């Protein structure tokens, strides 16, 4: 592997040069079926014609102006995003971690201005993942990410997921915000129950705690609804988005509802590149697709087809699977890493490779693009079945 990069990733030994739809091609001309979508980023697949056209047209007109001004593209992007999410205002940044930093700042300022000092705790969940900055690491409930990087931002506490009793006990008078991933993707696609999310929303409304949903991996249609929290019929006071928001162009968003939309004032927060014209043009393409009910319905149907296919695999190393829409996981009795390596090495025999992700040491994570076909799902599961056997 190339040694000019910092050694921060355990990269698989493949270098890609082009993509088309659900397939990637490496430097040797071998093809791979992509069930990762760049970790839920390339939601429209690779080289989508509408995205390519929009990016080319926007680059020819305007790529970036600072956020001391507006561009017509960013205004359109903001209007479409607030409309489809049914939120009041948006702040654009560059990534999920930045979006989560913004959400935490909103929760703490809301509480400080209304109740004074001492009410600043942010409650998050064990097995959560909210980012890799010092503060978003502080919000992440996985000890493996904390090693070597302390001291951390104080004021965060962790409770077990889907435990309503622990939730009720944790939301005391010191709490400013509750930060939840409706689906804990990084730790293995663990889904918070609708009952749990509804109770969380009730408690936050009752205690005037800012309810924040990290929908960076679970949102933007990934589950068949625009936001995963919609399945429970609840909406956050703040919602964070990134990953697939511009289908491969970096952008993040902090969405605020009526309760929190006026918390941040001039000078409170900022971003040099956030929501620039190029990212906005790509984001508009994504949002226009997601605004079509039949597009979301097809994601739901494809997700059910994927889960049915996983259940049909007759491998003794599979111990269970779960998912919602086009985010799914498969638990194994063996380590997942060698399986990922085997799936890409199969191309040596002339067979297409398959790209999957880990969701824990013994869990495979599936995040195929929304444009995946049933035939490609069948192809991917056949490759997986061979690799497991």
Q: Which of 80, 179, 213, 214 is the catalytic position? A: 214
Q: Write down the pLDDT at residue 300.
A: 98
179 is catalytic: no
Q: Write down the pLDDT at residue 351.
A: 79
Q: pLDDT tens for residues 266-276?
A: 999 999 999 99
Q: Which of 80, 105, 243, 289 is the catalytic position? A: 243
Helices vs. strands in the chain: H and E counts, helices first: 11, 17
In the chain, CATH 3.40.640.10 covers 50-290
268 is catalytic: no
Q: Write down the pLDDT at residue 314.
A: 86
Q: Which of 91, 129, 156, 213 is the catalytic position? A: 129
N-terminal to C-terminal alpha carbon distance within the chain: 28
Q: pLDDT tens for residues 286-314?
A: 999 999 999 999 999 999 999 999 999 98
Q: Write down the pLDDT at residue 290.
A: 98
Q: Which residues of the chain have pLDDT under 70?
A: 1, 346-350
Yes or no: say if 11 and 340 are a contact pair by the CB < 8 Å rule. no
Mean pLDDT of the chain: 96
Separation between Cα atoms, residue 34 and residue 49, nearest integer Å: 18
105 is catalytic: no
Q: Write down the pLDDT at residue 10.
A: 86
Which of the listed CATH numbers 3.40.50.2300, 3.30.70.100, 2.60.40.10, 3.40.640.10 matches domain 50-290? 3.40.640.10
> Tell me, what DSSP letter sits at residue 67?
T
Yes or no: say if 367 and 326 are a contact pair by the CB < 8 Å rule. yes
Yes or no: say if 106 and 254 are a contact pair by the CB < 8 Å rule. yes
pTM comes to 0.96
Q: Give the three-state DSSP class for 19.
A: strand
Helices 374-388 and 293-312: crossing angle, nearest 10°? 30
């Amino acid at each position: 592997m190339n040694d000019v990069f910092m050694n921060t990733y355990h990269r698989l030994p493949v270098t890609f040069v082009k993509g088309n739809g659900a397939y990637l091609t490496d430097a040797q001309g071998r093809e791979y079926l992509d069930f990762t979508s760049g970790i839920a980023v390339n939601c429209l697949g690779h080289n989508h014609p509408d995205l390519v056209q929009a990016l080319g047209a926007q680059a020819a007109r305007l790529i970036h102006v600072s956020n001391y001004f507006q561009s017509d593209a960013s205004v359109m992007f903001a209007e479409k995003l607030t409309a489809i999410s049914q939120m009041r205002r948006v702040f654009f940044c560059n990534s999920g971690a930045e979006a989560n930093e913004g959400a935490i700042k909103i929760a703490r300022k809301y509480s400080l201005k209304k109740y004074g000092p001492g009410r600043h705790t942010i409650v998050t969940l064990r097995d959560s993942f909210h980012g890799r900055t010092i503060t978003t690491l502080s919000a992440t409930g996985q000890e493996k990410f904390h090693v070597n990087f302390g001291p951390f931002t104080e004021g965060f506490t962790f409770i077990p997921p889907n435990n309503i009793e622990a939730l009720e006990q944790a939301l005391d008078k010191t709490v400013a915000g509750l930060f939840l991933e409706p689906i804990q993707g990084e730790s293995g696609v663990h889904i918070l129950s609708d009952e749990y999310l509804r109770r969380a929303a009730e408690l936050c409304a009752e205690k005037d705690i800012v309810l924040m949903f990290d929908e960076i991996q679970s949102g933007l249609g990934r589950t068949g609804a625009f936001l995963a929290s919609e399945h429970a019929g609840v909406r956050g006071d703040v919602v964070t988005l990134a990953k697939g928001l511009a289908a491969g162009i970096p952008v993040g968003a902090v969405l605020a509802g009526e309760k929190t939309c006026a918390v941040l004032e001039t000078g409170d927060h900022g971003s040099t590149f956030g929501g620039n014209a190029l990212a906005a043009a790509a984001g508009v393409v994504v949002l226009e697709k997601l605004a079509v009910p039949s597009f979301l319905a097809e994601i739901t149907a494809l997700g059910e087809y994927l889960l049915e296919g996983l259940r049909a695999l007759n491998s003794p190393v599979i111990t269970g699977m779960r998912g919602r829409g086009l985010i799914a996981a498969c638990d194994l009795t063996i380590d997942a890493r060698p399986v990922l390596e085997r799936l890409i090495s199969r191309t040596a025999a002339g067979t297409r490779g398959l790209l999957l992700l880990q969701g824990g040491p013994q869990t495979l994570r599936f995040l195929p693009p929304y444009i995946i076909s049933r035939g490609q799902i069948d192809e991917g599961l056949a490759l997986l079945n061979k690799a497991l056997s």
